[in-house]
Structure 1
Amino acid sequence: MYLLGPSMSVATMKMTAALVDGSRWSGVYWQHFMKDNPKTSWTKDCSRLQGLSRGKSFDDSFPLKSSNNTRLNSSTMPLLGGGCISKKRGLCVVFPDISSPSVKVENLDSCDDEYDGVIVNSESLPSSANAFASALMASLSNWKLQGKKGVWLKIPSNQADLVPIAIQEGFDYHHAEAGYVMLTHWIPDEPCLLPASPSHQIGVAGFVINDKREVLVVKEKCPCSCSGVWKMPTGYINKSEDIFSGAIREVKEETGVNTIFMEMVAFRHAHLVAFEKSDLLFVCMLKPLSFEITLDEKELQAAKWMPLHEFLGQPFYEEDHMSKKVIDICIASYEDHYKGFIAHQLTSKLDGRLSYLYYDGSH
């Protein structure tokens, strides 16, 4: 019997089953909550199942893995098609004993990666928790015999009830995005060599200055350390977006001003910025193609063209050495006293794709 014990967190329990009229059914994967008790009881014992919802009873021809201390004194409730299941509060996943020669369990659909590892096909995961638990155990045994190392298991959000089963089998969280969570497992009894989860967020800043030596500046609405300060438009790049494209987009979204990329003049690297992640901020010189401002009222208090000397005269920049240095570099670039990095599109033989390499265009 496959049991999810009391070590599970409340968050994991919530992911495992939704509260629907006090209980949730998924084949013989069952979780019961007491409506009048905010706490959920998770037990290592589970009463014996005497039948499946399909009407097939468990007997010697369909062996089960079960704990020796199975209790039979709990009240039962009928299953559709015959048999019964304990009404004891808890969560149980029951599956055939895969070590029995009379039971055939299919492995998870997967493919090998380039590093003696395995990538599980997330689009063909078993729909029931019991089938997944059986297939996962069989697959892990098979992969270990084959000498496989790392396993990548992507679970869609609509199958989140499979997550605690994988965790119970030794998987751990790697990263999550909208629609899925990625789990990993290192099979060998040696230090794990799988790459860590993403550690950086990437931001961009656009320094836009016109022929009148006026700088395009904005005031943020957020109550951050630069609240009330006139600053360059900034933001985060989107997935699969180039750095210079992100800078152009952010300026357009916040101010309505169209620009073109000239060069990247500096970048700042900081750590423990948001949720203990590191942060890279790339500063780009942009040339304005339009001048009328359309304010993004959701993010900004105001935006305008400000004379350069007024921009530099703000007390914030006199006290913040990092920001002051960045602006000095931008001015030097504008006055042709400094050469930044230009984006050059090249193809790499490593992946055969076009990508941008940033370097001094004079070389």
Structure 2
Amino acid sequence: MLRSLPKLSPLLSSPRTTNINIPRFLSNSLRCVSSPKTITRTQTSTGRIAMTTRAPIRPRSSSTVSSITAEDHVRQPKLLKSTDDDYDGVIVEVDQPMDATTFVPILRSSISHWKQLGKKGVWIKLPIHLVSLVEPLVKEGFWYHHAEPKYLMLVYWIPETPNTIPVNASHRVGIAAFVMNEKREVLVVQENSGHFRGTGVWKFPTGVVDQGEDICVAAVREVKEETGVDSEFVEVLAFRQSHKSFFEKSDLFFVCMMRPLSSDIHMQRLEIEAARWMPFEEYSAQPFVQKHDLLKYISNICSAKIDGRYTGYSAVSTSSSFSDKKYYLYLNAGALKSSL
């Protein structure tokens, strides 16, 4: 029989525990447990004795804490680096090589993040060496905006509102150079490619304005490239707008009057079949010029300019409140001066 236990104090509301000796066979069994436990005997309010085990509380090691912190950090979603534009959109320039499996989850997390920030348009500039990401971007809802030799620009519209992303550049800009010397001779060329190849038509030097190039600068460059003649810009005499002229794009074509600074011709044989100084009247009398209204108008304008009956638009260097860059404003300087 068990010895009589002392009576419990009526002031205690919790059970009292006392340690007891563990039989050897039970002690040996407990050693199999990975962590040591303490066995106690408890007298309950009904007088019964219960045996319980307690495992000691050990502080968590620093290595475990570091491991959990690292895991939590990994679980944080990665986002694409972006910069804000002026219209509540973001611009992303992808530069790190990655496959679609890695890229798509990051892209989705980024779009979700931008949506929470209230962003609208997403511009992704994809370099040519990451062309493998084009397909996953398109499958995620992006579409082509424009392409350059070294990158493709794709766009995405986030909100459930009408898309206001501006379309790609709609116009190409070209020039024609009316270069006349003191003998009333005009500089003309025959092309060995394009619409005028093999027609025998003499025309003004023409060309396309490069990106970041001013019209007045492009006219000087084209004259030099095609004929070797140095010149300076005088005025824009007229300009024409046409549509669906180059891969569905519209076209702006500026007729520029130039003053020659040299006379020797050294033509560019890659594009030019022949070049010469021709009396203006002979140029204007060509059947091709007289047949087409556009060329006839241009010829009449040049003739009026020669006789002092027409004034074009000179280039005035100016600036904008939006930028420190210099721009050219083309205006009728003589008429403006007389009106002031």
| 3-state secondary structure, aligned to 2:295 | helix
Q: What whole-Å deviation, never above 9, does each CA across 1:170-226 have from its counterpart, x for those lacking one?
A: 100000001000000011111111110111111011001111111100001114157
Greater fraction of residues in helix? 2
Which residue of 2 is the match for residue 252 of structure 1?
224
Code of the aligned partner of 2:235: E
Which residue of 1 is the match for residue 20 of structure 2?
none
| Matching residue within 245, 258, 274 for 1:302 | 274
Identity %: 46
Select the structure of larger CA radius of gyration.
Answer: 2
How far apart, CA to CA, are the structure 1 residues paired with 2:101 and 2:302?
A: 61
Which residue of 2 is the match for residue 316 of structure 1?
288
How far apart, CA to CA, are the structure 2 residues paired with 1:352 and 1:101?
A: 44
Code of the aligned partner of 2:93: N
Code of the aligned partner of 1:350: F
| Matching residue within 181, 184, 206 for 2:177 | 206
TM-fit CA distance, 1:114 = 1.5
Q: What whole-Å deviation, never above 9, does each CA across 1:260-290 have from its counterpart, x for those lacking one?
A: 1111100010000011110111110001111
The answer on whether the counterparts of 1:341 and 1:359 sit within 8 Å (CA) in structure 2 is yes
1:187 and 2:147 aligned: no
Structure 1 233/247 Cα, relative in aligned 2: closer, same or farther at 3 Å? same
TM-fit CA distance, 1:112 = 1.5
Code of the aligned partner of 1:115: Y
| Matching residue within 122, 146, 157 for 2:117 | 146
Aligned length: 263
Code of the aligned partner of 1:106: K
Q: What whole-Å deviation, never above 9, does each CA across 1:139-162 have from its counterpart, x for those lacking one?
A: 111111221100000000000001
CA RMSD of aligned residues (A): 1.7
Q: TM-score, normalised by structure 2?
A: 0.75
| 3-state secondary structure, aligned to 1:295 | coil
Contiguous gaps of at least 5 residues in structure 2 = 1-71
The answer on whether the counterparts of 1:317 and 1:324 sit within 8 Å (CA) in structure 2 is yes
TM-fit CA distance, 1:336 = 1.6
1:268 and 2:240 aligned: yes
The answer on whether the counterparts of 1:244 and 1:261 sit within 8 Å (CA) in structure 2 is yes
Which residue of 2 is the match for residue 131 of structure 1?
102
Which residue of 2 is the match for residue 277 of structure 1?
249
| 3-state secondary structure, aligned to 1:353 | strand
Code of the aligned partner of 1:238: D
TM-fit CA distance, 1:132 = 1.3
Code of the aligned partner of 1:355: Y
How far apart, CA to CA, are the structure 2 residues paired with 1:359 and 1:246?
A: 18
Q: TM-score, normalised by structure 1?
A: 0.70
Which residue of 1 is the match for residue 302 of structure 2?
330
Q: What whole-Å deviation, never above 9, does each CA across 1:46-83 have from its counterpart, x for those lacking one?
A: xxxxxxxxxxxxxxxxxxxxxxxxxxxxxxxxxxxxxx
